[in-house]
Structure formats: structure tokens, C-alpha cells
Amino acid sequence: MSRRRRPHALVPIALATAGATLLTACGTSTLDTGEVEKTIASQFKAKGIPLTDVRCRDEIEAKVGTPVSCTGKNPGGTVLRLEGKVSERNGDRARFEVKAVGGTAIGSVIAAQTKAVLEQQVGQKADGMTCPKTVEIPTKRPIRCVLTAGGTRLGVSVTVDENGRLDAKVDDQPRS
């Protein structure tokens, strides 16, 4: 396999944002958590990032500046950390905004995507690719994976940036 390096988009972890105005729950000073979760899922889906199992803390005060902390899982098993705040309050309506600030991806998903990227770059099929069991995204430093091609094992340094772009660099020398 060639040892080229080129960034490619990963299944979107996309550190996108979602925001909406909701009625406060039953005239109280809290947001309806279930509605917040549905709204986040809907808004991320509209941006091409389907999220399942969105969960927010139980009570979100409808007060400007109140933190909104949630998690959501994409179909590839990546769990995104969603953070934001209540940005506006007007009578019985409150506006909140959240964005994905990171997450944890399943290593086999990162391995499959990295393998596909490398195969596309060089036009050859690889036998396999393994990466750590879980990967924090964006990566703070490159993770080490192993590519097997034609009986040769090669080390690969993989990074995923805050926009979900995957970058892979294959070592110059085979692994022993």
C-alpha cells in the first residue's frame, strides 16, 4: 500500500449545532427534557447527522446561561457529547443551543473507514485493519492502528479532527 497522507471525511461526528425555542414545561421554569431531546435529534438529522438515543440531564432550568448537557448516538455507534446553554428567555418560551463538542467512536468503525480511505487512495484491497477498541474524537494525538496487506503488517497513525475529517499516515517500514 502507498504511504500517502490525505484527509477524508469520517461518518459525520460533525461538531454541528442545534438550537430551538421551546415552551417551558407546563408553565414552570424548566424545559421539557423530552422535547429538548426530540428537538436536538430532529435538528441534527436535518443537518445530515442522524442521532438516536439522545439523553439530557433531567431538569434544565429555563434561565439564560443555564448549561444544557446531553449525549446522542449516531448509527455507527459514535456517542457524541452535546454541550450548550439556554440562550434566551421570553415569557413562557426559552431558546437553547447545543453543539457536539466531541465523542467516543467504536474502534472497528474507525478501522473500517480508515481501511476504505487507504484502499481508495491506492486502488488496492487490504486484508484487514485494527484500531483500539474505542477512540476519543476529535483525537488529541494520533491513534495507532495496524493495516494488513498481502501478508505485511503496517502501522498507521490516524487522527480525526473536530470536523470529522480522518487523516491516515502509513508507516514507511513494515511491523515485525
Tens of pLDDT, residue by residue over 144-174, are 999 999 889 999 999 998 877 899 999 988 8
pLDDT at position 9 is 42
Task: Kindly tell me if the per-residue pLDDT of 3 is higher than 50.
Answer: no
Domain segments of the chain as ranges: 17-103, 106-174
Task: Kindly tell me if the per-residue pLDDT of 132 is higher than 70.
Answer: yes
pLDDT at position 108 is 94
pLDDT at position 8 is 42
Instruction: Assess contact for 85 and 65: CB atoms under 8 A.
Output: yes
pLDDT at position 93 is 80
Q: Check residue 29 and report its DSSP letter.
A: S
pLDDT at position 12 is 46
Tens of pLDDT, residue by residue over 32-70, are 888 889 989 988 888 888 888 999 987 888 889 999 999
Count Cβ atoms below 10 Å from residue 90 Cβ, excluding itself. Answer: 8
pLDDT at position 168 is 93
Question: Bigger pLDDT: 153 or 27?
Answer: 153
Of the ranges 31-35, 74-78, 126-130, the best mean pLDDT one: 126-130
Among 25-29, 90-94, 133-137, 151-155, the least confident range: 25-29
* DSSP calls for 96-152: EEEEEEEEEEEHHHHHHHHHHHHHHHHT---SEEE--SEEEES-SS-EEEEEEETTE
